[in-house]
Structure 1
Amino acid sequence: MEIITVHTAQNIDIDYEIGGLGERILARLLDYAVFIPFVIAAMFIVPAVTEYASAVYAIVMVVLFVFYDLLCEAFFNGQSVGKLVMKIRVISLDGARPKFSQYLLRWLFRMVDFGITGGLGALITAAMSENGQRIGDIVAGTVMVRTEPRTKMNNIVFNNTESTYQPVFSQAGELNDGDIALIHDVIANYFKTGNNSIVFAMAEKVKAHLTITPPERMNSLVFLQTIIKDYSHISAQADAL
């Protein structure tokens, strides 16, 4: 299984297994299967109602089919129904959740990957590119990975022993190893499930406990990662004394 290492802005290296071609093909087939009940309804049920209702139903189904991938990935953290079942996800090359513009680019280039080239473009580039990316992934700066990273967050070692490093939050030193282990577990759970709410809740508890007001643009995940990084550095410095 091929591995991609993403280097986050917080100096964390996380290894992910790249989603295999077989998994991606099965995920696509499962996504098509989602529409089978609607096709059956269109064949046997909808014709029994008014012509106007049939036309509206057809238009709605076509729109949903066309925008299915974009909507699913944007609203369900890089996963469609098929990807969820196959336990694969779209992430940004920096390990973060892709921006909507990345999802949009990835979706637009489906016309090249699966339309103009009849699927050969996606198949060839995914098989030959270093990170298993199709054309849309390359353009958007995304990659398809298995949902659980190989690098466990509680095994991450922060290399912050350089004397020039200045902790962002000196209050992190007030925490203990148990607190940090709990934060590790929360972040690991987020990377596994994509559940943002537990990250937000933990960040709010840490902010309240340490009386910290982080910069406005710092989101909850980055805040918790920074707390861990600062704690690791402060602890290392204390041990060196």
Structure 2
Amino acid sequence: MDTIKISTAQNIDIEYEIAGLGERIAARCIDLVGFAILAIITVIVMGAAQMSLSGNAGLVVLFIFLAIFAFYDLVCELTMDGQTLGKKVLKVKVISLDGGQPTLGQYILRWLFRTIDFGFPFGWGVVALIAVVVTKNHQRLGDILAKTTLIKTTPRTQLANVAFNFSLPDEYDAQFKEVIHLSDRDIELIHEVLNGYYQTGNAELIYAMAAKTKAHIVATLPSGMNELQFLETVLKDYKHLTSVSV
């Protein structure tokens, strides 16, 4: 499973899965279906208005349709945070390989090379298919040159999948009742950071996450509690308080 690290607003690196060939094809198919529906509607409207493609009005409508088709991906990705309608449905988005939001230049570069990736005479998508399959980050040619790729927008860890693999005694009393003000996404991040520490031993992640969490809930560590214990306690307190509230 290929992943890429994205830096969050809390300066914590979270791994996201890179979208594969299946997600790319499905997202593109959804976009093409949308264009097919738009084309059918256009033809119906032109027929109802008795327009001819050889007439001026018909040529204007055809030009508008072709312009929408040509600039659809670029405009959508610029205005919809790296997504088209198809990508949004599939929950994937364009991201820079450095983990940041792509620049205008990167969006334009990957858009310009769509002709080679998907157009005639380059096999109507064969170039893109081969590139996505053989490259490490599942990139088509435009992605390689723009240094971008597609990721799944859903992080690997979600609250529903957070393994609260601990039991709390009935008389458990939360030490940090302010954790109730944390969001589910905050808890997902804390869980992800703890897992990262358990696997790599990188204490910097713990210090950074603990500092952000303390500042967010305005908490002070009691004597004898370190940052790792604090984050583990936050998870326990959150589990306790949310289960009680339910």
Extract unaligned runs of 5+ from structure 1.
156-174, 189-224
1:178 aligns with 2:179: yes
Extract unaligned runs of 5+ from structure 2.
163-175, 190-208, 227-246
Distance 1:54 1:7, change over 3 A: closer
TM-score (norm 1): 0.63
Instruction: Output the amino acid matched with 1:181.
Output: L
> Offset of 1:135 from its aligned partner?
1.2
Distance 1:227 1:134, change over 3 A: farther
Pair member with larger Rg: 2
Instruction: Output the amino acid matched with 1:99.
Output: T
Equivalent positions of 1:155-166 (< 5 A) are: none
Instruction: Output the amino acid matched with 1:35.
Output: F
Of 146, 149, 152, 1:140 maps to 146
In structure 1, C-alpha distance between the alignment counterparts of 2:214 and 2:109, rounded to whole Å: 36
Distance 1:177 1:109, change over 3 A: farther
Equivalent positions of 1:1-241 (< 5 A) are: 2-6=1-5, 8=7, 12-47=12-47, 48-49=50-51, 51-115=55-119, 116-118=121-123, 119-151=125-157, 178=179, 181-182=182-183, 185=186, 228=212, 231=215, 239=225
Q: Confirm or deny: 8 A CA contact 2:127 2:141 kept in the other structure.
A: yes
Identity of aligned residues (%): 38
TM-score (norm 2): 0.62
In structure 2, C-alpha distance between the alignment counterparts of 1:133 and 1:62, rounded to whole Å: 26
2:182 counterpart SS class: helix
Question: Which stretches of structure 1, 4 residues or longer, exceed 4 Å deviation after superposition?
Answer: 229-232, 234-240
Q: Confirm or deny: 8 A CA contact 1:5 1:13 kept in the other structure.
A: no
Distance 1:36 1:105, change over 3 A: same
Instruction: Output the amino acid matched with 1:120.
Output: V
Superposed CA RMSD = 3.5
